[in-house]
Amino acid sequence: MVPASRLRQVELDAARELAGMAIDVEEQVAKGASAKAIIHRVRARMKRLRLEPVGRAGEELAFDRTRHQPMRAGVPDGARVLVVRPGYIWRLPGEDLVIEKPVVQD
């Protein structure tokens, strides 16, 4: 069992990272940064946390039911789909954990 103090520290660390991301995005928007620049900064921050993006919004790719979440049922494997929302994988030592699959539409 994880001690309550350890769990609280993990939650606090996660909250700090999320707040830091929100602060960074708001600051970049206020400075007039382009969407491309903001996405670059977000992805760089995620990489430091060992979070790897899967797909980019607007990207077209081949559907793979093991990696993608379709917006409707019945999309055949290999069909061309559009990434509506990217996903993320957490790269841990010896393990990759899917946090969110990318959402796709055909």
Q: What is the pLDDT along the chain (106 residues), one digit of tens a residue?
A: 778 899 999 899 999 999 999 999 999 999 999 999 999 999 999 999 999 999 999 999 999 999 999 999 999 999 999 999 999 999 999 999 999 999 999 9
pLDDT attached to residue 36: 93
- Is the pTM value of this prediction over 0.75? yes
Alpha-carbon dihedral of residues 11, 17, 18, 21, nearest 10 degrees?
A: 180
Contact predicate 87/39, CB 8 Å: no
Nearest to 53 by CA among 4, 5, 102: 102
